Chain A
Amino acid sequence: MTSLLETLFTTPLWSGLIKAIAVFSLLMLTALVLVWFERRVVAFMQNRIGPNRAGPFGILQTLADGLKLMFKEGIRPRKVEVGMYLAAPIAAMIPAFLIFMVVPIGAPIHIGDATVTLQGADLNVGLLVVLAKSSLAVYSIVLAGWASGSKYPLLGGVRATAQMISYEAAMGLALVPVVVLASAQLAGGDVGLGTMSFATIVELQQGSFRGPIPGWFVFWLLPSFVIFFTAAVAETNRAPFDLVEAESEIVGGYHTEYSGFRFAMFFLAEYINMFNVCAIAVTLFLGGWLGPGADLPYVGWAVPIFWFLVKTYALLFLLVWIRATLPRFRYDQLMSLGWKRLIPISLVWLVLFALVRAWQSFGAPWS
């Protein structure tokens, strides 16, 4: 048995396939749980009960809703641009699944002689790949809005382009200090090359910051973390940045004309993207899968996965909390927050942090 697993995981093709399937199932399962999680948490925050009928605590509610959407008639309005209209939901799903491929969800596992990394692919441009995939995610919304051939979806689509481009700049800038800090941790005080690989960034967060406080990057880079998280909320079009689908202004925004399973695909992609941004924030700032107890007998391999999920769900709870608390931004407020606050602050912070790093490596300018 062990030898079979060993051969499976040492063959690149099979191990890649297994990881892809594992990531797919994990994300689908997560989306199911997440929809229920959000509805329950928001319900409790608004002094309601929320879904509690299907399954224990209503946890099967999303499954029931998903099945219902699958069997519903997919209504296609007469004025749609058929090709783009059909392609847009698929274009929403693909980047959502691909982004998660670079996130390590646990410590490497040893099966016999083979070492299995719990990560789709460890790329040396991991950070950039995340930015690239998230910049492709905007197409589905824009195209859905445009191809629907009616005014509210078009308004949602136009809003999405400007919003996602603006906040992507802030998100990218917030990630640069992570790379600077990673190079500092990797090379010690010396001048050296950094890294953009997610697996290495997690390993660099071992050790401690001060005394018992763990060496997570968030303690060095709190401003970056706040900016990244804000920009990530805007990138996933969640409240208070949900102008793209603001139901009180433009009906449903880009997915107004979608129904049945095509609507479900947009819905799934949104929840998977929520999970993605939280997982990336955990990996880059909160120590990823690091946590105590990884050397326990028998269950030691599962403990890092447990910590990863705990941290990610803590951030997801924060996301839901924000949604239940804050009212929606006006469009000009959204733009001025992005361009006049987040981007200048992250630029100044980046310069400051880079100066400190240069001071460490090269010494004070007068010495």
Chain B
Amino acid sequence: MVELVLFVVFAAAALFGAVTMVWARNPVYSAMGLMLSMFSVAVFYVSNGAHFIAAVQVIIYAGAVMTLFLFVIMLIGVDKAETRTENLPLQRPAALGLIALFGAGVVVAGRSAWVTGRTVSPGSPIDGSIEEVGGELFNNWLLPFEITALLLIIAAAGAIALAFFRDDEEGDA
């Protein structure tokens, strides 16, 4: 019962956030819509027993990433309302058709187990507690985990290198 109420409230919030993100004229409202959507998804993770993923979702996505989005929006000053003149005449009807197609695809594909990953039995909730995730990550998947970390470090170092050393400054650097 509690779970159903939570689901209905936060599903509505997630959809509202998603629509706001696309629909809002002002990028700040778009960013907040995306934040609301991500936060609501974190609530679904909690109600499915994946506490660790939920906490990480809020820390990384709803927290850090969206704050950086806001920072960029404010810093480069694009927080002005956009114009809505249409350049591609067929864009909106095509979008509607594609949404219908995508929705049908989700409904059809969501029934097969190879899409959703595992057959869910209502009696046995998945144990996504932090002990379980940590055990899996550091016992069975250590190498992929470390390689991913290395990849992220390389990406961060590359971004800094790109920002610091431009072609025209190479002579005096």
Judge whether B47 is part of the interface by a CB distance below 8 angstroms: no
User: Is A136 in contact with B63, judged by CB distance below 8 angstroms?
Assistant: yes
Q: Which of B39, B74, B131 contacts A154 (CB 8 A)?
A: B74
User: Is B71 in contact with A135, judged by CB distance below 8 angstroms?
Assistant: no
How far is it, in angstroms, between the C-alpha of A128 and the C-alpha of B53 when the chains are bound? 10
How far is it, in angstroms, between the C-alpha of A162 and the C-alpha of B68 when the chains are bound? 8
User: Is A135 in contact with B131, judged by CB distance below 8 angstroms?
Assistant: no
180-200 of chain A: CB within 8 A of chain B: 193, 196
User: Is A193 in contact with B134, judged by CB distance below 8 angstroms?
Assistant: yes
Surface stretch bound by A, among B54-62, B87-95, B97-105, B165-173: B54-62
User: Is A128 in contact with B56, judged by CB distance below 8 angstroms?
Assistant: yes
Question: A169 CB to closest chain B CB, in angstroms?
Answer: 9
A162/B64 contact (C-beta < 8 A), A125-B52, A146-B79 known = no
A161 contact set on B, CB distance < 8 A: 67-68, 70-71, 74
Judge whether B35 is part of the interface by a CB distance below 8 angstroms: yes
Surface stretch bound by B, among A137-145, A282-290, A307-315, A328-336: A137-145
Chain B count of residues within 8 A CB distance of the other chain: 28
Judge whether A131 is part of the interface by a CB distance below 8 angstroms: yes
A84/B67 contact (C-beta < 8 A), A132-B55, A132-B59 known = no
Judge whether B34 is part of the interface by a CB distance below 8 angstroms: no
B135 contact set on A, CB distance < 8 A: 193
Judge whether A157 is part of the interface by a CB distance below 8 angstroms: yes
User: Is A164 in contact with B67, judged by CB distance below 8 angstroms?
Assistant: yes
Judge whether B41 is part of the interface by a CB distance below 8 angstroms: no
Question: A332 CB to closest chain B CB, in angstroms?
Answer: 16
A129 contact set on B, CB distance < 8 A: 55
User: Is B71 in contact with A128, judged by CB distance below 8 angstroms?
Assistant: no
User: Is A165 in contact with B74, judged by CB distance below 8 angstroms?
Assistant: no
Judge whether B18 is part of the interface by a CB distance below 8 angstroms: no
A135/B51 contact (C-beta < 8 A), A142-B70, A193-B134 known = no
User: Is B68 in contact with A165, judged by CB distance below 8 angstroms?
Assistant: yes
Q: Which of A135, A162, A165 contacts B62 (CB 8 A)?
A: A135
127-164 of chain B: CB within 8 A of chain A: 129-131, 134-135
How far is it, in angstroms, between the C-alpha of A123 and the C-alpha of B129 when the chains are bound? 10
Question: A257 CB to closest chain B CB, in angstroms?
Answer: 16
A158/B75 contact (C-beta < 8 A), A124-B129, A128-B52, A164-B67 known = yes
**Chain A residues proximal to chain B, CB less than 8 Å:** 81, 84, 123-125, 128-129, 131-132, 135-136, 138-139, 142-143, 146, 154, 157-158, 161-162, 164-165, 168, 172, 193, 196
